[in-house]
Chains A and B, each alone.
Chain A
Amino acid sequence: MDVAIIDYGAGNVKSLQFALERLGVQARLTHDWELIQKADKVIFPGQGAAASAMKKLTATGLDQWIPQLQQPVLGICLGMQLLCSSTAEGNSPGLGLIKAHVERFPNTVKVPQMGWNTIFSLQSNLFEKIEEDAYMYLVHSYFVPVIEETIAQSDYAGNYSVALQKDNFYGVQFHPEKSSTAGQQLLENFLKL
């Protein structure tokens, strides 16, 4: 299977590549649009600050290309947040594929949320063989509220979206590559979509 990881200099993807290798897939880390377009599956990673990540996408034209992808796309962490219209982080726009505004966690909880939290209300075949209240590893300061496109939730200062889906675009807030067997299962499910 041909899996492309979009390379736009926003974070390190070594662990993601290793996780895919454990599933027998040699993912290609690339910013070459032709390679991304013809891949069977595309992963859109992201770490660090939203505004600078968005600038990198705009500078390379990827912000225009990504929304045109037809195959299953999986945004991870900041990659999921950037599928949305806008984010409070640096008041940056996103790719606008999902109509939602990304908000900051209130100071009633520690920010960033760091660690393992349960996920529930699982509503997609992306979560096949993953039990309700499975644990996933999360590190983030901003979150997407529960919306129509929510396919999984978690609870940190209230319920919020840990996974979204709009057509062929999927996003997960947690890091499947760091989430032990449940995370591995999720990646395997994505590869099967």
Chain B
Amino acid sequence: MLTKRIIPCLDIKDGRTVKGVNFVNLRDAGDPVELARKYAQEGADELVFLDISATEQKRKTLSELVLKVAAAIDIPFTVGGGISAEADVSAVLANGADKVSINSAAVKNPELINRLSKKFGNQCIVVAIDAKQIAGTWKVHLLGGKVPTEINLFDWAKEVEARGAGEILFTSMDHDGTKNGFANEALAKLSELVNIPIIASGGAGNEQHFIDTFVEGKADAALAASVFHFGEIPIPQLKSTLKKQAIAVRI
């Protein structure tokens, strides 16, 4: 049986992890490679690296990092953050990343999804969607949720699927950082609407939230950052809890 995936997300700036990573037993918690190795050993099913740096050397630094990660781990990983050109995609895939995630660039130029999935295969194109409810309607947001658009989340999800996205990474800006659980109602609706896998993101605070997002939210995978980085939810323990709830996970 295909299992539900647990995906830690690492924020990267200039080749280093940022945002309070607080792991014990790590020589260098700022080293993404060491963190990636630790997560792979703990049973993470996949990793996401989100590059938030905005320097001119970004592409070079990122592709060098991807190469080091690929050499260190034997589980799949996705790279995202400001990816907008074919050359960016080419560089990270050639160095061993399995998928790239595109976000704002896809909203600004939807044709990009068609081009990338045609060239690299839809299995490696993840479209990340940040959305927030405004007056009861889910609206897509840009630039990490800062800039609202008039685009409806569900319309956009249908469109990215039709254009060749292989997967959707949906982050609810209303839930992100709250630790109050994932946006399960919207997730379930997305899952029924499109026929590609959905990664739930935003709101993980405890183990029950993961159970809920897989059962009620019908998510195929769940992504989180701080609960893993701060050791609040150890992955082996989370997986054993999920298994007890008869949720298929890889142990």
Show the binding face of A for B, using Cβ within 8 Å: 11-12, 14-15, 18-19, 21-22, 47-49, 107, 110-118, 135, 137, 139-141, 155-156, 175, 177-181, 183-184
Contact = CB atoms under 8 A, between A and B. Distances in A.
Interface stretch (B11-19, B28-36, B93-101, B202-210): B93-101
A15 B2 CA distance: 23
B5 interface: yes
Nearest to B198: A110
Contact of A135 (B121, B122, B123, B250): B250
B67 A14 contact: yes
6 contacts: A11-B121, A18-B96, A114-B167, A115-B2, A115-B197, A141-B123
Contacts of B95: 12, 14
Interface stretch (B52-60, B68-76, B181-189, B225-233): B68-76
A14 B64 CA distance: 13
B74 A116 contact: no
Contacts of A183: 74
Given A12-B93, A139-B123, A140-B123, A115 B74 contact: no
Interface of B: 1-5, 40, 45-46, 67, 70-71, 74-76, 93-96, 98, 120-124, 166-167, 195-197, 220-221, 250
Contacts of A117: 1-3
A14 B195 contact: no
Contacts of B71: 18, 21
B246 to A, nearest CB: 15
A107 B96 contact: no
A181 B41 CA distance: 10
A179 B46 CA distance: 10
Contacts of A113: 2
Most buried by A among B67, B71, B121, B195: B121
Contact of B3 (A116, A175, A179): A116
A178 B76 contact: yes
B67 to A, nearest CB: 7
Contacts of B122: 112, 141
Given A115-B45, A117-B3, A135-B3, A14 B70 contact: yes
Given A12-B96, A14-B95, A19 B74 contact: yes
A124 B76 CA distance: 26
A11 B3 CA distance: 25
A14 B94 contact: yes
Nearest to A175: B76
A5 to B, nearest CB: 14
Contacts of B75: 137, 178-180
Contacts of A181: 74
A104 B4 CA distance: 22
A178 B123 contact: no
Nearest to B124: A47
A15 B47 CA distance: 15
Contacts of A184: 74
Given A14-B70, A14-B96, A183-B74, A116 B5 contact: yes
B27 to A, nearest CB: 21
B121 A48 contact: yes
